[in-house]
Amino acid sequence: MTNTNKMTKGTTNWDTRLFLIAGVFMLINTVCLWLRHFSGYQMSLLWAAIPAIIGLASGVLGILKLYPRVSIQAPLYARGGACFAYISSASLLIATIWIFISSVFGEGISDSRSFGFSLLIGSFMICMVISFIFNAAAFLVNRVTRSIGLLLLIPVVCWGAMLAVIVTQGFNAGLSLDFYTNGVIGCAFLLIAVVTAKKGCATMR
């Protein structure tokens, strides 16, 4: 019993911390995007990309750390969410390496993106959305953890809107929504951190 409590406490601490980091860096990303857009200074997209990468990576890791909370009450949803989280992590890692190589050895990243890079971002977003949907469903089936499930749906709605615009109006038009959606997602991540900290070990009972 003592070992189980220690494991649960450690898991709880990590998912809370990761979503806290994710929320803070998504808000930093939003500030960078607005500064780049409205200030006269020609800020490189890299300054906005770095906090976004850290924020999204922390969000994916936070989802993976939520696995013990839902693996007992909804094992199928938990496995599905973890599977798509791993795929989105791989896509984000490759995209990050792409950005780094382009910035160091090439001309840097710009508003015009190649097909390969767009494919990576699209793969990341789709898998991320599916992962969040699985995890949200897993939390929604339990009345005690329903608030976490509802908060996980906020990024789903934001990313779903971006994907819808990408399909109908093009990739750049869809990504332009991150001026607004990333701030909302950042706030959602912070609220998830607060709720998971308050819930503590409740979801493991």
Residue ranges of the domains in the chain?
Answer: 2-204
Q: Tokens standing for 196?
A: 């998971």
Q: What is the CA radius of gyration of the chain?
A: 17
Q: Give the per-residue pLDDT at 42.
A: 66
pLDDT computed for residue 200 by the predictor: 63
Q: Which of 72, 69, 81 is nearest to 202 (CA)?
A: 69
- Alpha-carbon gap, residue 179 to 61, rounded angstroms: 23
Cα–Cα distance for residue pair 130/156, rounded to 1 Å: 8
The structure's pTM equals 0.80
Q: Pick the closest to residue 162 from 192, 118, 193 (CA basis).
A: 118
For residues 43 and 150, give the distance between their C-alpha atoms in angstroms, rounded to a whole number. Answer: 36
Q: How much is the pLDDT for 108?
A: 56
DSSP SS3 for 2? helix
pLDDT by 10s per residue, the chain, length 205: 444 444 444 445 788 999 999 999 999 998 888 887 777 666 666 677 789 889 999 999 999 988 887 888 788 998 999 999 999 999 888 888 887 777 667 665 555 456 777 788 788 888 989 999 999 999 998 877 889 999 999 999 998 888 888 888 876 777 778 888 999 999 999 999 999 888 764 444 4
Q: Is 170 left (phi over 0), alpha (psi -120 to 50) or beta?
A: left
3 state DSSP class of 141:
coil
- pLDDT score for 162: 85
Instruction: With beta carbons less than 8 A apart as the criterion, state whether 128 and 189 touch.
Output: no
